[in-house]
C-alpha cells in the first residue's frame, strides 16, 4: 500500500462518493444527537412514570437488539406499506426507505442510546437540587435547562456525542435495510467496506477501514480528554 496507490484510490469516484455521503449523514445525525438526545436524557433521568419507563425501554432497544432486527422492524414501519411509511408516501410524497433520509435515520437510531445514557446518568443528586433551587428562584424550565442543566452535564454531553458519532459511523445492519446499499446512491463508508470485501477488493476495504479507524481513534482520544477535564 504505497502513498501513490493511496492517493490514486482516494481520487477514485467509487471511494469519494461513500466518504462524501457519510459526511452528509453525520452532518444531519450529530445535531440531532444533541437536540434530541440531551433533553431526552434529562427527561429519562428525572421521570419515574410508566410513560417514562416505556420511553426508556424504546431508547434501549437499539442497544440490546441485533442491528439487523432493528432495521427489519423499522423497515416494516417505514416501508411503502408500513404503518408510518404508507401515510408519508400517500399524503406527503416522502419516501424514507432506500434514500438519504433512511441512512440518516439509521445513524440516528443506532447512536441515540449512547447519547442519552451519559446524560441520563448525570441527572442525579446535586443537579436535581440545583434544578429545584432554580425553580424556587422563579426561573422557567427553558432557562433552567440552558443555564443549569447543560453546564452541569457538559462532560456527559460531550462524551455522549463522541460515543454516538462513533457508533453511527460504523453502522451497517440498520443502514443496509433502510438505505438498501445502492452503489452511487446509498453506500456509506461502512457499507462500501462490505461491498469491497464481497467483491474481493481488499485494498479499498482496507483503505476505508483505516479511515474509520483514524476517526475512531480521534473520538477515543477526545473522550479520554473529556473524562480528565
Give residue 156's region: left, alpha or beta (phi > 0; psi -120 to 50): alpha
Which segments of the chain have a pLDDT < 70? 1, 125-126, 227-229
pLDDT tens, residue by residue, 120-172 = 888 876 677 777 788 777 777 778 877 888 888 888 899 999 999 999 998 89
CA distance 25 to 106: 9
3 state SS of 95: coil
- Backbone φ, ψ for residue 8 (5° rounding): -65, -40
Pick from 118, 105, 99: nearest CA to 44: 118
In this structure, what C-alpha cell is assigned to residue 194? Answer: 462490505
Cα-based angle 171, 155, 169 (whole degrees, multiple of 5)? 10
Give Dmax over CA atoms of the chain in angstroms: 65
The pLDDT of residue 146 is 79
CA atoms lying within 13 Å on the CB side of residue 53: 3
Amino acid at each position: 500500500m504505497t502513498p501513490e496507490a493511496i492517493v490514486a484510490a482516494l481520487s477514485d469516484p467509487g471511494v469519494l462518493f461513500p466518504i462524501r455521503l457519510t459526511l452528509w449523514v453525520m452532518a444531519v445525525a450529530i445535531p440531532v444527537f444533541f437536540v434530541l438526545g440531551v433533553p431526552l436524557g434529562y427527561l429519562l433521568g428525572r421521570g419515574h412514570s410508566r410513560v417514562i419507563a416505556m420511553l426508556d425501554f424504546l431508547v434501549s432497544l437499539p442497544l440490546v437488539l441485533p442491528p439487523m432486527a432493528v432495521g427489519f422492524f423499522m423497515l416494516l414501519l417505514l416501508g411503502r406499506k408500513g404503518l408510518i411509511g404508507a401515510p408519508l408516501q400517500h399524503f406527503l410524497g416522502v419516501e424514507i426507505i432506500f434514500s438519504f433520509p433512511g441512512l440518516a435515520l439509521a445513524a440516528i437510531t443506532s447512536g441515540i442510546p449512547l447519547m442519552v445514557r451519559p446524560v441520563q446518568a448525570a441527572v442525579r443528586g446535586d443537579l436535581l437540587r440545583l434544578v429545584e433551587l432554580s425553580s424556587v428562584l422563579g426561573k422557567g424550565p427553558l432557562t433552567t435547562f440552558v443555564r443549569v442543566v447543560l453546564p452541569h452535564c457538559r462532560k456527559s454531553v460531550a462524551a455522549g456525542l463522541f460515543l454516538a458519532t462513533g457508533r453511527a459511523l460504523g453502522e451497517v445492519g440498520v443502514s443496509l435495510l433502510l438505505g438498501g446499499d445502492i452503489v452511487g446512491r446509498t453506500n456509506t463508508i461502512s457499507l462500501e467496506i462490505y461491498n469491497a470485501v464481497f467483491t474481493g477488493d481488499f485494498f479499498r476495504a482496507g483503505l476505508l477501514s483505516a479511515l474509520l479507524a483514524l476517526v475512531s481513534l480521534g473520538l477515543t482520544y477526545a473522550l479520554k480528554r473529556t473524562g480528565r477535564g
